[in-house]
Amino acid sequence: MKVFRLLLLALVLSAASGCGEKVPKLAKLGSADVIVAFGDSLTYGIGAQEHESYPVVLAQLTGRQVIRSGVPGEVTAQGLQRLPEVIDEYRPRLMIVCLGGNDMLRKVNAAEIKSNLRVIIKTIKDRGIAVVLVGVPRPALITSAPEFYSDLAKEFALPYEGKIVTSVLYSPDMKADSIHPNAKGYRRMAEGLAELLRKAGAI
Residue 19 located in a structural domain:
no
* H/E element, 131: strand 130-134
Residue 194 located in a structural domain:
yes
Residue 11 located in a structural domain:
no
Measured torsion, CA atoms of residues 88, 92, 98, 102, in degrees rounded to the nearest 10: -20
pLDDT at 142: 76
First to last CA, the chain: 40
Residue 7 located in a structural domain:
no
Residue 164 located in a structural domain:
yes
Q: Are the C-beta atoms of residues 85 and 44 closer than 8 Å to each other?
A: no
Residue 66 located in a structural domain:
yes
pLDDT at 7: 42
Give the CATH number for residue 124: 3.40.50.1110
Confidence of residue 21 (pLDDT cuts 50, 70, 90): low
Full-model pTM: 0.90
Residue 167 located in a structural domain:
yes
For 85-140, the pLDDT digits (tens) are 999 999 999 999 999 999 999 999 999 999 999 999 999 999 999 999 999 999 88
Please count the structural domains in the chain. 1
Length of the chain: 203
Domain limits for position 38: 32-200
pLDDT higher than threshold 80 for residue 43: yes
Q: How far apart are CA 77 and CA 107, in angstroms?
A: 14
* H/E element, 57: helix 54-62
Summarize the confidence of residues 49-65 as an average pLDDT: 98
Residue 71 located in a structural domain:
yes
pLDDT higher than threshold 60 for residue 171: yes
